[in-house]
Structure formats: C-alpha cells, structure tokens
Amino acid sequence: MINNGDNITSIIFPPQIIFNSIFSHASILTLSITNCHIYSFFVILNHSVYIFLTKTT
C-alpha cells in the first residue's frame, strides 16, 4: 500500500520482504537520489515494517 502525499510517502511492506536480522530496531537510512536527500525511517511495529520517505532538496 503506497500513499502519495505532498512531502511524505509511506510504504508498508510485508515482513517477508525485509531482512528481519538487519532491522531489529528502528533505523535511519540516508539515500541520495536525483540531487535530493531522501531520509528513510524504518520502524517495525506488530511484525510489519513502516518506511517513511521524506524528500528534502
């Protein structure tokens, strides 16, 4: 399920897709795509992973 907003895009993945050995706690990942910094917040709640992408120019 992908929700497109003005600045924040939230993506919910099933736990099978995520490496549960890596994301045991909430982690922050920084990516650089098309001259924009995208901060990804990985939060595991109820055996589901919520990824919040925030674009900043």
**CB 17, CB 11: distance < 8 Å:** no
Task: Give residue-wise pLDDT tens across range 8-57.
Answer: 445 555 544 444 444 444 444 444 444 444 455 555 555 555 555 555 54
CA 6 to chain centre: 16
Domain region containing 14: 2-56
Q: What DSSP element (H or E) covers 46? A: none
- How many domains, the chain? 1
Q: What is the pLDDT of residue 30?
A: 45
pTM of the model: 0.21
Please determine, for residue 6, whether its predicted confidence score (pLDDT) is greater than 50. no
